[in-house]
Structure 1
Amino acid sequence: MNREQISRLAHAHHPIAAPLDDDSVRQLLEHGVPHGDARLLDLGCGGGEWLLRALTAHPRARAEGVDIAENALAHARQSAQALGVHDRLVLHQQDAAEFPASPTFDLVLSVGAAHAFGGLLETLATARRHLAPGGRVLIGDGFWEHEPSPEAVEMLGEFHDLPTTMDRVIAAGWTPVHGHISTRRELDDYEWSWTGALASWALDNPDDPARSQALDAAATHRDEWLHTYRDSFGFLTLILRPTPASR
């Protein structure tokens, strides 16, 4: 069982691969999609859940998603077909950081995928190259709510506290127009979706060769969450517009 398979099982009951509940996602899309016939681009779209929800809510919108995971994109295609939005969705299997720039998108999304670009500011720099005039970016990334342990930094990477994160984004030429800080309930629900879904699948499939690996992955993730980063990690989702002087 590879990481992609583990992730697919873990997100079976939490298709948004980030600590955001359905209401938060709905509100963020309401603030992020500028008009009904907007063009959307998700860099690191995974199973395409953000785009599927936006296309369902906006019947004239069109979207493109980019991801390297073949299985995730296949799932996105199947879901789009089931929802009747497949004719308005184009999916690309490639490295999102290398997707050819085309400044024609009204909303560029990248939630929980900053590692693929080298960090938050690098993700924003990539997103900027795809924005149409007047466009917006919807981006989600971690921050430290409290001083992290060295183990947490080693595990999750280099983040900053919330004020420093905001200062860096603004200094890079962006104006925040909306934001959401994930609640403790959202954060915990997301972590339980990992540990619970994996464990449940393993218990329901006692004869599957991957059963032990799934149980081990659930236990490892649960221990890391509870004992290493739960008390220090937070998640911030922002809607940004380029600051006029920076264009």
Structure 2
Amino acid sequence: MSTAEIRALMAAPGNDRLTWNTPLSEEHAATLVAACAPAPGARIADFGSGWGELLMRLVEAAPGATGDGIETDPDAVTRGMLLARERGLADRVRFHEVSAAAYAEAGYDLAVCIGSSHAWPGGTSEALKALRAAVRPGGRVLFGDGFWEREPSPAALEGLGAEPGDFGSLLELIRQAEAAGLRPLQVTVADQREWDLFESAANIGRGERWTLENPGHRLHAGVREAVDARRTGYYGGYRGTLGLAYLVLGT
């Protein structure tokens, strides 16, 4: 039984039930786009863009805006390029298959990073500094990162494979942004319904649907085991403990 095969089968880029790989609703996404307020002709970069759904929403919000998606997952890049062509954005949205920490272009009007602070060796603090450096004076940053809604239990830490110091409080996250020279313009968090729908559509739901459709497959038992582990980790562990904050920041 191949762990790599199971991981690939359940990976987000191949999951058509996921609009974006983060707990986010259509209404919440629209609020973020409005708060970022990209101007006509804006240059936008999304570090760890996945298949670029949020990047494309931001580009679509401003006539003449262009976007650069920085993403190392080739399957996500392939999906993003296909989506861009389907939406008539192939000449306005480009993907760069390179790590966020290695991407050096700057002077953007808006820099985005949702759930990808781990791409920088120094984590959240280094990510925020890099995003600040990527935008021009007066530019904006949209940053999404985890925080502890409450003190994590052993079950929550086990479900996430995390340590208590991996995240801080929401206020501590805001203070880290301020320390990087960024000022909070809007702070929102993923609500419980967004989290539940995300977990149901992501690994848990995708894996469960696959096992029902492929009862005799050689990976069936492994996929079901992975689904059960994720379900236990979420519902019996980090649900209501791990939060995801979306910070719209000014420079």
TM-score (norm 2): 0.89
Residue 77 to residue 9, structure 1, CA distance change in 2 (3 Å)? closer
SS of residue paired to 2:151: coil
Tell me, what secondary structure is at the counterpart of 1:173?
A: coil
Superimposed CA distance per residue, residues 52-103 of structure 1 (whole angstroms, 9 cap, x where no aligned partner) = 2223333411000111111110000011111111111111111111112x32
Could you say which residue in structure 2 is the equivalent of 1:241? 250
In structure 1, what residue type is equivalent to 2:34?
Answer: E
Per-residue deviation at 1:4? 4.6
One of 13, 17, 20 as aligned partner of 2:21: 17
Which moves more between the two structures, 131-140 or 195-204? 195-204
Name the counterpart of 2:236.
227
Mapped to 2, the partners of 1:208 and 1:80 lie a distance apart of 34
For residues 94-151 of structure 1, what are the alpha-carbon distances to aligned partners after superposition, in whole Å with 9 as ceiling and x for unaligned?
1111112x32211100101111113211111111221122111101011111110245
Moved more, 119-128 or 7-16: 7-16
3-state DSSP class of the match of 1:64? strand
Superposition RMSD in Å: 1.9
Query: Helix, strand or coil for the counterpart of 1:19?
Result: coil
Query: 38, 45, 51: which is aligned to 1:41?
Result: 45
Q: 1:72 to 1:4 in 2, by over 3 A?
A: farther
What amino acid does structure 1 have at the position aligned with 2:205? Answer: G
The aligned runs of 1:152-191 (5 Å cut-off) are: 152-153=156-157, 155-157=161-163, 158-191=166-199
Q: Which residue of 2 aligns with 1:125?
A: 129
CA distance in 2, matches of 1:216, 1:12: 22
Q: Percent identity?
A: 32
Partner of 2:75: 71
Name segments (4+ residues, structure 1) moved above 4 Å. Answer: none
**How far does residue 238 in structure 1 lie from its aligned partner after superposition?**
0.3
Q: 1:106 aligns with which of 105, 109, 128?
A: 109
Q: Unpaired runs of 5+ in structure 1? A: 243-247
CA distance, structure 2, for counterparts of residue 53 and residue 165 of structure 1: 25
Number of the residue aligned with 1:192: 200
Q: Confirm or deny: 8 A CA contact 1:139 1:239 kept in the other structure.
A: yes
Correspondence for 2:95:
91
Q: Which residue of 2 aligns with 1:245?
A: none
Preserved contact between residue 36 and residue 140 of structure 2 (Cα < 8 Å): yes
Question: Residue 5 of structure 1: CA displacement?
Answer: 4.0
TM-score with structure 1 setting the length: 0.90
Paired positions, count? 241
CA contact (8 A) 1:103 1:129 kept: yes
Change over 3 Å in CA distance of 1:193–1:133 after alignment to 2: same
- Cα distance in 1 for residues equivalent to 2:46 and 2:124: 15
CA pair 189-74 structure 1, distance change in 2 beyond 3 A: same
1:141 maps to which of 106, 122, 145: 145
CA distance in 2, matches of 1:54, 1:211: 39
